[in-house]
């Protein structure tokens, strides 16, 4: 199946504000792409445009050579002719139909003959592991099972693309975790291209093959999840992806305190060729104890140690700034103790908020 290409897509609902601004995005064939961003950033609008439920104000959408929307050419293919399956946050199963009948429903609408209908419904239900409950009614299923049936209903119609809008947000934490693993397995088994909308960065990191981070209607970065985590393209992505979030230290014109300390280190490593407006450090990239040679280090006062079973969060004061360290080995420290804190991984951002890539080549970049 070919790629989905969005070119110069914009959407205004009127009133001059744009929900999506000049978006260029390619969803590769077989990808599991997450559209990630805070509430109101235009994720759902983008998904609805791909589905054909909204028409763009500008730009074009194509699947391979097949143009689905082109504002310029006055072209628009309605949702039912796009071969895409859509699952919303509030998926609705028919309460008076059994699980099997619910899954067969879409096939019946498409006039698929009864024996094939039955076989395809059963196969889709097997894929989502709800085949044992095929003759039950939706009210007799758990939330997670209902969610799987909603997915099976879409999978049964063999969509070229599966569009999912926050489908896990109504589930409790345990079920969400299970469903993330299930969705990943279903994606790998079916090979279907998935576009998934979420505001949950962990959901995007754990499931996606590609993440598109959006803010205020604009694409911030498109990258595989681990690459995005390791090298966020700008401050927005750096702070949005990761929990606890990356600490960002502003470097003013004549920096003092922690900013001054970091800046001296940056200058000594880059020969003053790099002038950051901000330096970012991830909590897990900060370490306590004797530093290896040639890394940044500073004395730190422990303010609190917060054990959480498998990890330890430590609140420190370094010069004039509070910072959090995330450690995966036990931290035996008490409040008031002075330790050395060091890091060999810094992210540098320029005045326009974008990453300074030349720093990454110094060996101290991420």
Ligand X SMILES: Nc1ncnc2c1ncn2[C@@H]1O[C@H](COP(=O)(O)OP(=O)(O)OP(=O)(O)O)[C@@H](O)[C@H]1O
Minimum distance from residue 149 beta carbon to ligand X (Å): 23
Does residue 118 bind ligand X (CB under 6 A)? no
Of the two residues 204 and 258, which places its CB atom closer to ligand X in the complex?
204
Quick one: which of 19, 112, 194, 259 contacts ligand X (CB under 6 A)?
A: 19
Residue 351 DSSP one-character state: T
Instruction: Please tell me whether residue 42 binds ligand X under the rule CB under 6 A.
Output: yes
Q: How far is the CB of 21 from ligand X (least distance, A)?
A: 11
Query: Please, what is the minimum distance in Å from the beta carbon of residue 140 to ligand X?
Result: 31
Nearest to 297 by CA among 328, 264, 270: 264
Of 176 and 199, the one with the shorter C-beta distance to ligand X is 199
> What SS3 state is found at 99?
helix
Per rule CB under 6 A, is residue 94 in the interface with ligand X? no
Q: CA distances (Å), 140 to each of 91, 121, 164, 182, in order?
A: 16, 19, 24, 21
Of the candidates 80, 167, 170, the residue with the CA atom closest to the CA atom of residue 128? 167
| Span near ligand X by CB under 6 A; candidates 40-48, 116-124, 250-258, 352-360 | 40-48
**Nearest alpha carbon to residue 262 among 340, 344, 190, 162:** 344
| Residues in a beta bridge with 215 | 218
**Ranges within 188-227 binding ligand X (CB under 6 A):** 199
- Give SS3 for 234: strand
Nearer to ligand X, 35 or 300 (CB): 35
Q: Binding string, 224-263, against ligand X, x = CB under 6 A?
A: ----------------------------------------
Runs of H (alpha helix) within 41-172? 43-51, 99-109, 114-127, 143-156
Q: How many chain residues touch ligand X (CB under 6 A)?
A: 11
Q: Near ligand X by CB under 6 A, which window of 33-41, 80-88, 126-134, 285-293?
A: 33-41
The answer to the question of residue 13 lying near ligand X (CB under 6 A) is: yes
C-alpha 76/C-alpha 226 separation (Å) is 36
Torsion region of 278: left, alpha or beta (phi above 0 gives left; psi -120 to 50 gives alpha): beta
Q: Which residues bind ligand X (CB under 6 A)?
A: 13, 19, 37, 39-45, 199
């Amino acid at each position: 199946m070919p790629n989905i290409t969005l070119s110069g897509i914009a959407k205004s609902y009127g009133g001059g504000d744009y929900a999506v601004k000049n978006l260029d995005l390619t969803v590769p064939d077989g990808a599991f792409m997450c559209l990630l961003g805070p509430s109101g950033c235009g994720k759902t609008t983008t998904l609805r445009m791909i589905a054909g439920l909204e028409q763009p104000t500008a730009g074009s959408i194509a699947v391979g050579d097949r143009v689905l929307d082109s504002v310029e050419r006055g072209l628009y293919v309605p949702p039912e002719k796009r071969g895409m399956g859509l699952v919303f946050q509030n998926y609705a199963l028919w309460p008076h139909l059994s699980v099997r009948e619910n899954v067969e429903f879409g096939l019946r609408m498409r006039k698929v003959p009864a024996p094939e209908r039955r076989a395809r419904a059963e196969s889709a239900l097997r894929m989502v592991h709800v085949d044992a409950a095929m003759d039950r009614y939706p009210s007799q299923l758990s939330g997670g099972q209902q969610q799987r049936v909603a997915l099976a209903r879409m999978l049964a119609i063999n969509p070229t693309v599966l569009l999912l809008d926050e489908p896990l947000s109504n589930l409790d934490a345990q079920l969400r975790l299970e469903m993330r693993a299930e969705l990943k397995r279903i994606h790998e088994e079916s090979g279907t291209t998935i576009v998934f909308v979420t505001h949950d960065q962990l959901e995007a990191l754990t499931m996606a093959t590609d993440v598109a981070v959006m803010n205020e209607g604009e694409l911030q970065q498109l990258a595989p999840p681990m690459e995005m985590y390791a090298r966020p393209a700008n401050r927005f992505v750096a702070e949005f992806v990761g929990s606890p979030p990356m600490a960002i230290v502003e470097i003013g014109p004549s920096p003092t305190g922690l900013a001054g300390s970091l800046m001296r280190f940056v200058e000594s490593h880059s020969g003053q060729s790099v002038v950051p407006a901000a330096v970012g450090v991830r909590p897990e990239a900060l370490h306590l104890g004797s530093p290896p040679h040639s890394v940044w280090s500073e004395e730190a006062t422990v303010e609190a140690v917060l054990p959480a079973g498998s990890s330890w969060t430590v609140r420190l004061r370094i010069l004039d700034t509070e910072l959090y360290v995330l450690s995966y080995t036990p931290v035996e420290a008490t409040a008031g103790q002075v330790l050395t804190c060091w890091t060999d991984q810094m992210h540098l951002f320029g005045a326009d908020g974008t990453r300074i890539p030349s720093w990454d080549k110094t060996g101290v970049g991420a």
